[in-house]
Amino acid sequence: MHTRDKLKQTALALFAQHGYEGTSLAQIAAETGIKKPSIYNHFPNKAALFLAIFEEVESGIVTLIDDSLTRSHDLPTRERLERLIRSCATFIRREHQGVFYKRYLLFPPTDVATQVAAISNDNERRINAHLHVLFEDGRQAGELRALPEGQFIAAFYCLMDGLFAENFYYDADTFERRLEGAWAVFWAGLEA
């Protein structure tokens, strides 16, 4: 693994565990096994390192959604949507990425809040485009009841936000049971 990638991996874990303000470049360097000045060969400052990680994590979610929907393209809408939600839940359960994502989506560091919002908004538009296609496919196949697309997208995000929160409260088995229950109610509200 290249030093730049090691720095991002180490910083991701430290930012998730200690927060942006609670993590120093010296800590990141020490955990990576390099001297602090060497970080500047890869990133001009802590904010740039943070933004590189945030963009990578956000992009990872979009890629995960794209991959899930591509792999399940020929399946009925119910299965496509359930697989998508399960893929997102798997991402949520990843130790550092899930914590990092939720923490900084809700509470971005002040000095990069504008950039975090721009990255997040751009990726939300990309996710919405995927959800639009899924919604239209389901409607055309007669598998989704007549409801406005905006309600479908809002409900999807509310379910995902709830799962993000549940991840912090429950062990894996309890989380799975709660996911099953939430999925059943979610689908009941969509099914034609």
d(CA 134, CA 144): 10
**Of the candidates 101, 23, 22, the residue with the CA atom closest to the CA atom of residue 56:** 101
- Residue 143 in tokens: 């598998």
- Residue 20 in tokens: 């942006």
pLDDT of residue 18: 94
pLDDT of residue 9: 95
Distances (CA, A) of 142 to 76, 123, 161, 185, 188: 10, 29, 27, 19, 14
149-189: pLDDT as tens digits: 999 999 999 999 999 888 888 999 999 999 999 999 999 99
Question: Three-state DSSP class for 191?
Answer: strand
pLDDT of residue 167: 84
d(CA 36, CA 43): 11
d(CA 129, CA 120): 14
Task: List the chain pLDDT tens, one digit each, 192 residues.
Answer: 799 999 999 999 999 999 999 999 999 999 999 999 999 999 999 999 999 999 999 999 999 999 999 999 999 999 999 999 999 998 888 768 888 888 888 899 999 999 999 999 999 999 999 999 999 999 999 999 999 999 999 999 999 999 988 888 899 999 999 999 999 999 999 999
- Residue 84 in tokens: 């998508």
Q: Which CATH superfamily is domain 51-189 in?
A: Tetracycline Repressor, domain 2 (1.10.357.10)
d(CA 28, CA 9): 10
CB-count burial class (<10 Å; 0-12, 13-18, 19+) for 101: buried
d(CA 62, CA 59): 5
pLDDT of residue 93: 82
- Residue 68 in tokens: 């899930």
pLDDT of residue 82: 97
pLDDT of residue 98: 81
User: Contact at 8 Å (CB) between 166 and 175?
Assistant: yes
Question: Residue 26 contacts by C-beta under 8 Å, 6 or more apart in sequence?
Answer: 36
What residues pair up with 191 in beta bridges, in sequence order?
A: 144
pLDDT of residue 95: 66
